[in-house]
Structure 1
Amino acid sequence: MIYVFGHKYPDSDSICSALVTAQWLTARGLPATAWRLGEINHETAYILRQAGCDAPAPLTEPLDGRDVWLVDFSDAEQGPAGLAECRLLGLIDHHRLGSLTSAEPIDAWIRRVGSTATLLWQIMTQEYAMVPDRCQATLLLGAILSDTVGLISATATEADRRAVAALSPLCGVDDAAFLDGLLVAKTCLDGYTPAGLLEKDLKRFAIGAYTLEVAQLEVASPTQLSDRLAPLLACMRQRCREQALDYVMLAVSDIRRCHTDLYRVARDGTSLPVQALPGMLSRKKEILPWIGAHLM
């Protein structure tokens, strides 16, 4: 069996793409099962309900020597323990090529699109002539709209727009209502502890000589976090110290104003001035390059 999973602290693209990839592989005669490396957030739960699909089970067993297929990441730092000892068979991603290596050639697709789900749709329909069923189409549509913030993010491409146009008729949902519900769920922060908020969408990176984690919270209003910033910053300091990181950063992105405020904590516990990043929403395409340029 092939173990299919995305990165730790999974977002909607990581979960939805893992589910559809496992089904696509199984349909090709390669039995596969999707797994998750963390809790399901409100937005992903919304997409799963709309698709009528259960969430993948959490991956708790050792991976040593297993056959694995990765989606939505290629950085070893974002994967589970034991990943280096696995037999990597394939990879579908839309980020920069990360630090993972393989002992033998793999099936790999990495393209500059807004979502792994967009690339997966291209592979299924254009390379394998497969038509997604209603459940698969809803998972893919939700993941694309999530990662591109309803196609308004700088990461959105013409390929993403074509995928959305093709998938929408297959889903049997009202497009506007589906997107509205998704964005409400995306910006819902109810029920999270400070640590839970930080881990809601968290990724670890190695940039030059620095190791850092960058969390992102998408909000509908800057006031959503007003009363929670102090405990969040305390949690960031604790995490930076316990994980021996150079920095822990939190990008608070207002999806209505298209504006991000970047909070930064250094290893010595120092909080750097809050950095306003007007016009930026994408961690991958805008925020991370800004961080890289100002760390060096």
Structure 2
Amino acid sequence: MSKILVFGHQNPDTDAIGAAIAFAHLQKELGKDTEAVALGAPSEETQYALDHFQLEAPRVVEKAGEATDVMLVDHNEFQQSIADIADVNILAVVDHHRIANFETANPLYYRAEPVGCTSTIVLKLYKEAEIDVPKQIAGIMLSAIISDTLLFKSPTCTKEDVNAATELAALAEVDLNEYGLAMLKAGTNLSDKSAETLLDLDAKSFPMGDKNVRIAQVNTVDLKEVFDRQAELETTMALENTKKGYDLFLLIATDILASNSELLVVGEPKEAVEAAFQTTLTNNRALLKGVVSRKKQVVPQLTEAFSN
């Protein structure tokens, strides 16, 4: 029998990779033959965390291949998953996002909670199974929580995330705030990246009404550095819309120090974006004060706007 593949979403962030590593390890301790894989290469932020805790990056796959059984973490929507997701048997899902565009032929284990990070839920699963969390696994789970909550600044962050991170930091033997800031800054080096790479670092597609919306997010400590490349970014976003069939492409550049974001929009209908955020786009841009979370402060608002 082939291994059970455990993976997060396409264009994986630190939680998609970290939760996959942690959940695969837990399942292995429980007697399952699991392997953590990734649907893309780790970002600089994620690689920083992997290197710090001396973990190997999971191998990158596009299809499940010979594997017939899979487990999903940090996502459930099929368009964000592995290419042949409709052809495999989903044994389990652990997630903290909305549930949409998801169905299975067989019963499965499904754990979804409204917390800031999937790894917060995975820590609970370790405790429920009475399995100890190794230092390295604690470190990558901690990194995931720091990333998803922007070191607790995101509105998605809950008391459970803070408590989990505090516990994991002790197990990983790191100073939570010192390590967290260093890790987040490691992911903000954008100057050496092409427009294509920058727009694909952390991007997800969402069906909204009858439209296909692509939303990319990058973290930075210098919004000007991002928008000095506006013309190049707009050209690339327009090409992606044409090639991939997106109606609308949004780039959210988030200042991790100021906890604000600036929005760049290419495609139509732009009036839906203006309605969603109660703003007016100027030169295809708008400042979104206090917005840092795509999951809680962008996707729901856009979804509502497209349904009206």
Q: TM-score, structure 2 length as denominator?
A: 0.91
Shift of 1:78: 0.4
Partner of 2:50: 48
Partner of 1:23: 25
Deviations 1:178-230 (A, max 9, x none): 11211211222143211100000000111121111100011112122133221
Partner of 1:243: 244
Partner of 2:132: 131
Shift of 1:65: 6.2
What is the 5 A alignment of 1:168-207? 168-207=169-208
Partner of 1:92: 94
Deviations 1:24-61 (A, max 9, x none): 11110001001111121110001101111000001145
Letter in 1 for 2:143: G
Q: Does 1:286 align with 2:287?
A: no
Q: Does 1:118 align with 2:129?
A: no
Partner of 2:278: none
Deviates more, 1:212-221 or 1:57-66: 57-66
Aligned equivalents of 1:27 and 1:158: distance in 2?
28
Deviations 1:143-172 (A, max 9, x none): 000000001110000110110111111112
Aligned equivalents of 1:35 and 1:69: distance in 2?
10
Residue ranges of structure 2 left out of the alignment (5+ in a row) = 274-280
Whether the 8 Å contact between 2:15 and 2:119 is mirrored in structure 1 is: yes
Shift of 1:134: 0.3
Aligned equivalents of 1:191 and 1:28: distance in 2?
43
Deviations 1:84-126 (A, max 9, x none): 010100000000012121111101100000000101011111x
Shift of 1:280: 0.8
Partner of 1:274: 285
Secondary structure of the 1:30 match is coil
Partner of 2:227: 226
Residue ranges of structure 1 left out of the alignment (5+ in a row) = none
Deviations 1:56-76 (A, max 9, x none): 001145536610000000111
Shift of 1:176: 3.0
Whether the 8 Å contact between 2:241 and 2:248 is mirrored in structure 1 is: yes
Partner of 1:261: 262
Whether the 8 Å contact between 1:221 and 1:256 is mirrored in structure 2 is: no
Letter in 2 for 1:275: A
Whether the 8 Å contact between 1:11 and 1:41 is mirrored in structure 2 is: yes
Note the aligned Cα RMSD (angstroms): 1.9
Deviates more, 1:167-176 or 1:261-270: 261-270
Aligned equivalents of 2:191 and 2:135: distance in 1?
30
Aligned equivalents of 1:175 and 1:65: distance in 2?
37
Shift of 1:267: 5.8
Whether the 8 Å contact between 1:95 and 1:284 is mirrored in structure 2 is: yes
Deviates more, 1:241-250 or 1:132-141: 241-250
Q: TM-score, structure 1 length as denominator?
A: 0.95
Secondary structure of the 2:298 match is helix
Aligned equivalents of 1:64 and 1:259: distance in 2?
44
Which of 36, 39, 42 aligns to 2:41? It is 39
Aligned equivalents of 1:10 and 1:290: distance in 2?
23
Whether the 8 Å contact between 1:118 and 1:159 is mirrored in structure 2 is: yes
Secondary structure of the 1:263 match is strand
Q: How many aligned residue pairs are there?
A: 295
Letter in 2 for 1:160: D
Secondary structure of the 1:241 match is helix
Letter in 2 for 1:250: L
Aligned equivalents of 1:13 and 1:242: distance in 2?
28
Shift of 1:268: 9.5
Letter in 1 for 2:305: H
Which of 63, 80, 83 aligns to 1:81? It is 83
Which of 107, 111, 117 aligns to 2:109? It is 107
